[in-house]
Amino acid sequence: MSFQKLFLLLGLISIGLVQCNPCGSSVSLDPPIGISAIRSYTETLRGEESSSYEYIGIYTHVDFLFAAQQKPWSLISGAYACSPAEPFYDATQFIDSILVYSSPNYTVTSEITDILNFENATMLSEYNSGANRQIFNGQGSGYFFFAEPPLQADSFVFSFYYYKDGVLIDSSFTQNYYISPE
């Protein structure tokens, strides 16, 4: 192979490499079009070996649904030496209210929506009324905490029902978990 042909071949290959997205520039991902699943489970937090409601959280994770993307044809597919920044997705565009129930009754009734807060910042009742929409982080996950103790120690299952415009769009259920008032 002659020297000129080698340079020509290297030049053509470099054109494909120049089109890559170097680290540091923004990665544009299409926004989600919906929610594919929501998962919830109860766990003890901060490494505590306690059944007290103060050390228990309900972790909730939203799996988003994305439209299928058509990949443009490329002679050389891109590879990056670093990871792009995590995208920020807003679950509140798909969920405008959440109702939560316990079995057996955590309080006087089985509905416990009014005694849950998200990440110790937003009461779930405030979220449902539209007064404060700060819920779920940019990856669609986080912890719900109890603002009150249960009436008595027991094993509880929590049922979450997610609504958009008054229509039930999804639900999630925790495992059976022992929680005490102390």
* Neighbouring residues of 162: CB distance < 8 A, sequence distance ≥ 6: 35, 38, 95, 97, 98, 168, 169, 170, 171, 172
β-pair partners for 155: 178
Question: Is residue 45 one of the residues assigned to a domain?
Answer: yes
Question: Is residue 55 one of the residues assigned to a domain?
Answer: yes
Question: Is residue 116 one of the residues assigned to a domain?
Answer: yes
Per-residue pLDDT at 14 exceeds 50: yes
Least confident of 108-112, 120-124, 142-146, 153-157: 120-124
Question: Is residue 61 one of the residues assigned to a domain?
Answer: yes
Buried b (16+ CB within 10 A) or exposed e, 91-115: beebbbbbbbbbeebbeeeeebbbb
Q: Is the peptide bond before 104 cis (omega within 30 degrees of 0)?
A: yes
Strands (E), 122-173: 122-123, 141-146, 154-164, 167-173
Considering 17-31, 37-51, 67-81, the range whose residues carry the highest mean pLDDT is 37-51
CB 149 within 8 A of CB 53: yes
Question: Is residue 57 one of the residues assigned to a domain?
Answer: yes
Residue 28, pLDDT score = 44
* Neighbouring residues of 25: CB distance < 8 A, sequence distance ≥ 6: none
Across all residues in the chain, what is the average pLDDT? Answer: 81
Tell me the whole-structure pTM to 2 decimals. Answer: 0.74
- Domain extent for 133: 32-66+89-179
Q: What is the domain-level CATH number for residue 158? A: 2.60.40
Question: Is residue 19 one of the residues assigned to a domain?
Answer: no
Closest CA to 60 of 84, 90, 39: 39
Question: Is residue 170 one of the residues assigned to a domain?
Answer: yes
CB 66 within 8 A of CB 33: yes
CB 65 within 8 A of CB 4: no
Number of domains making up the chain: 1
Question: Is residue 76 one of the residues assigned to a domain?
Answer: no
Quick one: average pLDDT of 110-115?
A: 95
Residue 77 falls in which region: left (phi positive, over 0), alpha (psi -120 to 50) or beta: beta
Quick one: average pLDDT of 76-92?
A: 64
